[in-house]
Structure 1
Amino acid sequence: ILQEYSEITLIAWSMGVWAASQIMKQYPSLPLSQSIAINGTLYPIHETKGIAPAIFEGTLQGLNDQSLQKFQRRMCGSIAAYKAFQTVAPQRPVEELKEELAAIQKQYLSLPPSDFAWQKAIIGKNDRIFLPDSQWLAWSNKVDSLEYAEAAHYQAELFDNVIMQIN
């Protein structure tokens, strides 16, 4: 399907940055005009360039309805943003989310690192999931443009601004 496009802008967020990198290495001839990574890295589970393995494992093992709400509040950065997120949040069972996190962990640990080159990375200064210092370590000298934004891990306005800039 992607082969039919004459120009593609790739925008990925959070764990999607790693996932998109894995997919894109399989399609090196796609006509990418831009690639933008937002609040994620090529190393989703990494001591210094992603989410620390102990934190990831603790999140995975302790995930339940209550801890998911706590995670989402941290992800959004404020109560108001959390309430807004709840109006668009996917309604998925916690067990399904746990399976997804376990699959990400298994694949990340078994696949070779991707050499996909992102053009731009945006780091939320208030990201409490992928810490800003970890993102900086992961991206410094690896992207053409590295930007900081006054944003939490998930912030709808950040995504809106990125989309407006590419249009």
Structure 2
Amino acid sequence: MKYTFINKNNTPRLTLFFAGWGMDIHPFISLRNITNDCCICYDYTDMHLNSEIFDSYTHIDIYAWSLGVWHAALYLRNSTLPVRKRIAINGTMFPIDNEKGISADIFDATLKGLNKNSLIKFNLRMCGNKEKVSVYNSLHPQRSIEDIKKELQVIGDRIYRTPVFKYPWDKVIIGSDDHIFPYECQLRAWENDCNNIIVKPIYHYTDFFKLMLEI
């Protein structure tokens, strides 16, 4: 797992953001407006991340998005970090699931057919419309098709071989216009596992700094 501090002012409080598949820090640059320290985690090809880099913090807020929801839970489930808040955004604990996540057929087809043109189509579905995908394209990750295809293969293999587990998310944000993790699937995934579910009129990718201010 890679990580980058986009804010590091040696404050005692950290916002730790787990991004989705195929990402780096660029699509989340607005999080630099957060006043406390902020670290973005991404690229789940390798799950290793030395938690000692967070030892100086007394208060850590977890935000996780998309496939980062499941990976954050996997990384943190046995952690002793001083986590105070856990918020999941447009993702579930059943990331490849026909009823509670991304259908297996769609996941496998995305992996098999991944190329420059299919990624353009994926980004349009992720952002929802041409205006928003234009904003995303100005901030798009600086990673190659080969690199993100390898990551997606590893992610799929990891999910398929990992038994279902739970993690105590405090709040779940569901986008009613999400075309990656369908709205209905997210509702089914969380209805018995979280008591604080907020539905927002957002697409899969959104302005995360603005969203944090709203919730």
Q: For 1:42-61, list aligned pairs within 5 A.
A: 42-61=93-112
Would you tell me which structure has more helix in proportion to its own residues? 1
Structure 2 equivalent of residue 13 of structure 1: 65
Instruction: Give the TM-score, by structure 1 length.
Output: 0.93
List gaps (5 residues or longer) in structure 1: none
Q: TM-score, normalised by structure 2?
A: 0.73
User: Is the contact made by 1:12 and 1:37 (CA closer than 8 Å) also made in structure 2?
Assistant: yes
Distance 1:148 1:40 in 2: 13
Judging by fraction of residues, say which structure has more strand: 2
Tell me, which stretches of 5 or more residues in structure 2 are unaligned? 1-52
Which AA in structure 1 matches 2:173?
I
After TM superposition, give the deviation of residue 61 of structure 1 in Å: 0.2
1:164 aligns with 2:213: yes
RMSD over aligned Cα atoms: 1.3
Give the C-alpha shift of residue 165 in structure 1.
4.8
Matched residue type, 1:109: Y
SS of 1:90's equivalent in the other structure is: coil
Counterpart in the other structure of 1:138: 189
Amino acid corresponding to residue 2 of structure 1 in structure 2: F
SS state at 1:4 partner: coil
The corresponding residue for 2:170 is 119
SS at match of 1:108: helix
Distance 2:176 2:214 in 1: 20
Structure 1 residue 36 displacement after superposition: 0.5
Between the aligned residues of both structures, percent identity stands at: 39
Could you tell me whether the CA contact under 8 Å between 1:10 and 1:32 is conserved in 2? yes
How many residue pairs end up in the alignment?
Answer: 163
Distance 1:41 1:140, change over 3 A: same
**Corresponding residue for 1:129?**
180
Q: Which has the higher contact order (CA 8 A, sep 6+)?
A: 1
